[in-house]
Amino acid sequence: MEEAFTVFNIAAVVIAYLIGSIPTAVWLGKRMYGVDVREHGSRNAGATNTFRVLGKKAGIPVLLFDIFKGWLATMGLSWISYYTQGSELYINLQIATGVAAIVGHIFPIFASFNGGKGVATTLGVIITLHWMAALSSMGIFLLVFLLTRYVSLGTLISAVAFPILVILIYKTSFPSLMYFSIIFSLVVIITHQKNIQRLVSNEENKISFGNKN
């Protein structure tokens, strides 16, 4: 029985990575617009750069599908697991598959390991892990974004807020979720170093939906 658990867990992590590796922005941009978004704008294969380069008609489906990838890898695979829902082992499996999906988005096997920053996919993961903290973080992001028009600033502030919400406000009892929330926040800060530099020097690009459809 223990071997069955191990095989399932390994398979779940691999499948989650493959789900995360679906390069939504790259495939949609090339197929529908003949554009590789990694060659334009911030050269990032994520929803924000898709909005910037191709407009909201491309950006919205990329954003939604990237969020869905994180949710599917985390929730879908845990549904068919051996573990009792809500147990610590169940949460640990969700964290493992969620991290695998995020890694897949950042280093997608289907796009030469050149992907995005994983923010939208991470949102799908944290919605599964702790939907109340996730929605609160989304509210913080939207407030900051609407006030400043900086996606990066909204992302950074909401990411810093997430572990505070999980640990101090909603007081989770799962140590693994506490650690994940802290590591998630640090990873977002690390992967946004260039954005932080541009924000400090007032050179960061604001999102404008302008003339694009």
Picking from 55-64, 70-79, 98-107, 159-168, which range would have the lowest pLDDT averaged per residue? 70-79
129, burial (CB in 10 Å: exposed 0-12, middle 13-18, buried 19+): buried
177: CB partners within 8 A, 6+ apart: 91, 95, 129, 130, 166
The verdict on residue 142 lying in a domain is: yes
Say if 191 falls within a structural domain.
yes
Q: Is residue 208 a part of any domain in this protein?
A: no
Range of the domain at 110: 2-200
pLDDT(42) > 60: yes
Q: Does the pLDDT value for residue 181 go beyond 90? A: yes
Report if residue 38 sits inside a domain.
Answer: yes
Q: In the chain, how many H helices and how many E strands?
A: 11, 0
Domain assignment of residue 160, yes or no = yes
The pLDDT of residue 48 is 85
Domain assignment present for residue 213? The answer is no
Q: How many domains does the chain have?
A: 1
Residue 55 within a domain? yes
